[in-house]
Structure 1
Amino acid sequence: MRTTRLFAYLQLTRPANVVTAIADIWAGFAISGTWFYLLEGGQGGNILLTKLAWLSLSTIGLYAGGVAFNDVFDAELDAIERPERPIPSGRVSKSRAAWMSFTLLLIGVLAAAQVNLISAGIASVVALLAVLYDYWGKHQNLIGPINMGLCRSGNLLLGVSVTPELLSTFWPLGLIPLIFVAAITMISRGEVHGKNRNALYGGLLMYVIVIAVIGSIPFLHNTNSWEVLPFIALLCYMIFPPLIRAIRSQNPKLIGKSVKAAVISLIIVNASLASAFAGWQIGLFVLLLLPISLWLAKKFAVT
């Protein structure tokens, strides 16, 4: 009985998705250049490793709390459209789910505060944006995708905030996850009923923009362009075939598969960014999160 209840609570947090959020932090570290010092070891490396652990814990709390609150606010709708979910099925009470969500968000902010006050501020903004999206933003055609994308942008910048002075230089990189996640959010609106071809084409265009921007980073950052190409190729392989099938069929199930592939592919987006700034070895290290997320996706729902 306890195992069943624990599984229900874990379902609320979307564990496979949480792993993609950890990849945001690791990519942020690559952008800030701190992976090099971390790998050198010594006292400085140990300090950075501790900060990496705190920020990874922070994003776990923020993401898990945010998606759990989504089910809290959607409990009545899910009772009609997705009655198998933990709250409408009665396996988790709405009040307990709300308390768990709040606690996770609080943990996210407090963990970030162990790094620096700027990290705590970014984590607080991400938490507020997540709740805003769950309660209001997801019902807005234009603002909703942007709202969700801003959550992911803040998450990437949370990783960069390990070196706060670099935020003024690299904050535009937050547009990459914003556009990618906004595309996923647009596409996902046909997951239940289908018939959203315009949104699917819009998502396709936004994916292409993201890939083009990531591919241009090595030229702007004076790094080896070939190092990012395998990651971009893998990203294309993951997101385009299921999306094209969804566009052709307008089948809600295929749209759902496209969304699932894109959510998990956020790890590949982050691996691509890491390789562009810190080399293919760091990109490959971030990519190691992908099989973990794929395994969890078989156990828990992604959307």
Structure 2
Amino acid sequence: MSRLRAWAELLRLPALFSVPGDALAGAAAVSARPDRGTLLAVGCSLCLYEAGMALNDWADRAEDAVERPHRPLPSGRIRPPAALAAACVLTGAGLALAARAGRPALAVAVPLAATVWSYDLVLKRTAAGPGAMAAARGLDLLLGAAATAGRVRPALRPAALLGSHTLAVTAVSRQETRDGSPLAPLAALTATAVLTRLLPGRTAGVLTTALALTYATTTARPYLHAALNPSPPLTQRAVAAGIGATIPLQAALSARAGATGTALGTVALTALARRFSRRVSVT
């Protein structure tokens, strides 16, 4: 059980519930019902997401030994070669699933995998880090569109909205382990307000509006607290809230496209994410 918990911590399992909504929102954006291709895209997304988590800790093992000695690698509960091997296997599995979904899906999955690896190994510590993470989320939504309908153009706008949210959360996460500046959480708070305004569009339905407000209220208070006191504990709570808010954002994007059932199914993942996050941290 202790070894399973170590892997759950390494892979940040509660964050997995924020992944399926990407592909589902992508399918909704191209006005297609989820099908076999969508499911393959979800599987690919889950694999690549977890590959990124394992690779992240492998790349940060020296830094974590100082700042996060309780993490699975520095604490010795998981060996670094095992984490790297897991990242490789999961990446291969994700690309294989994308290939099963067809050439359009694979054409999106390859740059998505490249973005994940580039972020963890090179870009994370540079100014391009948040942009790379935003690109990965946007590509993940496009993957769902490509796998379901073979086209991505109608999904570009929702991909940009989802990427903007991810950009804001990632910028805040860069100061999780030290006292930082209030600018990042303030910028994230502003981005949330703008996205909340843009989500309903001109012909907002009740469900879309409700999900947009849910998205806003999930992050508003944690971002504000982190801005008033940018300490590691409050910043980590803000990041966790930002990750959790991805789910109602995905649901709002699906509802905006008219996919009510997809939206309701996506937002239902919030309860599971909260339940598992009480046992394993998402940050």
Whether TM-score is above 0.5 comes out as: yes
Amino acid paired to 2:14: A
Q: Which runs of 5+ in 1 are unaligned?
A: 39-47
Structure 2 equivalent of residue 101 of structure 1? 87
Corresponding pairs, count = 283
Deviation at 1:6, TM superposition (A): 2.2
Q: Displacement, 1:116?
A: 0.8
Cα deviation, residue 126, structure 1: 1.0
Amino acid at match of 2:254: A
Amino acid at match of 1:277: A
Q: Deviations over 1:56-86 (max 9, x none)?
A: 1111101000111000000000000000001
**2:190 aligned with 1:205:** yes
Deviates most, 118-127 or 71-80: 118-127
Aligned match of 1:56:
42
8 Å CA contact 2:223, 2:238 repeated in 1: yes
Q: Distance in 1 between matches of 2:92 and 2:18?
A: 20
1:275 is displaced (CA, Å) by 0.7
- Contact 2:183–2:227, Cα closer than 8 Å, also in 1: no
CA drift at 1:163: 4.0
Q: Superposition pairs for residues 112-151 of structure 1, below 5 Å?
A: 112-141=98-127, 143-151=128-136
State how far apart, in whole Å, the 2-side matches of 1:137 and 1:148 are: 9
| Distance apart, 1:302 and its partner CA | 0.7
Tell me the TM-score normalised to structure 1 length: 0.89
Could you say what secondary structure the match of 1:87 adopts? coil
Give the corresponding residue for 1:30: 28
Q: 1:123 to 1:295 in 2, by over 3 A?
A: same
Describe the superposition over 1:203-250 as per-residue Cα deviations: whole angstroms up to 9, x where unpaired.
Answer: 22222222222122xx2xxx5433311101111110001111111122
Q: Does 1:7 align with 2:21?
A: no
The 2-side partners of 1:127 and 1:75 are apart by 21
Are the aligned partners of 1:227 and 1:279 in contact in 2 as well (CA < 8 Å)?
no
Q: Which sections of structure 2, spanning at least 5 residues, go unmatched?
A: none
- For 1:164 and 1:226, the matched residues in 2 are separated by 27
Q: Which residue number corresponds to residue 247 of structure 2? A: 267
Q: Which has the higher helix share?
A: 1
Asked if 2 retains the 8 angstrom alpha-carbon contact of 1:25 and 1:158, the reply is yes
Which has the higher mean CA deviation after the structures are superposed, 86-95 or 194-203? Answer: 194-203
For residues 145 and 260 of structure 1, what CA distance do their matches in structure 2 show?
16
Structure 1 segments, 4+ long, off by >6 Å, are: none
Instruction: Say which one has the larger Rg.
Output: 1
For residue 211 of structure 2, what is the aligned residue in structure 1? 231
Provide the C-alpha distance between the structure 2 equivalents of 1:251 and 1:267, rounded to a whole number of angstroms: 26
Letter in 2 for 1:167: V
| Residues in 2 aligned to 1:21 and 1:29: alpha-carbon distance in whole angstroms | 14
1:252 and 2:237 correspond: no
Once the two structures are superposed, what CA deviation does each residue of 1:139-178 show, in whole Å capped at 9, x if it has no partner?
A: 112x111001001001111111134453123323221121
Q: CA deviation at 1:279?
A: 4.3
Matched, 1:187 2:172: yes
Mean Cα deviation higher: 271-280 or 83-92: 271-280
Percent of aligned positions that are identical: 24
TM-score computed with the length of structure 2 as normaliser? 0.95
The 10-residue stretch of structure 1 (193-202 or 228-237) with the greater mean CA deviation from structure 2: 193-202
Distance 1:244 1:177 in 2: 21
